[in-house]
Amino acid sequence: MHEQTIAKAIIDKATKHGKVRKIVVEVGDLGHLPAHEMEEVLTTLTDWEVKITKKKATVKCEECGYEGEPEILEKGHDHNVFKCSQCKAMMPTIIDGKDIILKEIEVE
């Protein structure tokens, strides 16, 4: 049900701008939901055109100093397991790519 809460917040934010026709939502690689789940719930709850874009994650490893894309080992509903792509240390600090953001709204 977590996906419904996120989707309803996006829907509420979008409808404040008028009669919505289309939205673009950015889903980070390390977001709370996989992109396909976010798209599925939004298309189920609305009759809008829904476009999902994916944002690559960026992490900083405290062990080796690497800053870049992590190696994602497991991506699930409200959890991710990832490691440093360089030294393989588990769960480096997330810098970017963990959010789900309403990027564009097209209204009538």
Instruction: Write out pLDDT tens, residues 85-104.
Output: 999 999 999 999 999 999 99
Q: Note the pLDDT tens digit of each residue in 33-48.
A: 889 999 999 999 999 9
- pTM here is 0.88
pLDDT confidence band for 1 (50 / 70 / 90): low
The domain that contains 40 carries what CATH number? 3.30.2320.80
Between CA 18 and CA 15 the distance in angstroms is 5
Amino acid identity, residue 98? K
Please answer whether residues 32 and 100 qualify as being in contact, where contact means their C-beta atoms are separated by less than 8 angstroms.
yes
Between CA 96 and CA 27 the distance in angstroms is 11
Q: Which domain holds residue 34?
A: 2-107
What is the pLDDT of the chain when averaged over all its residues?
94
Q: How many domains is the chain built from? A: 1
Between CA 11 and CA 5 the distance in angstroms is 10
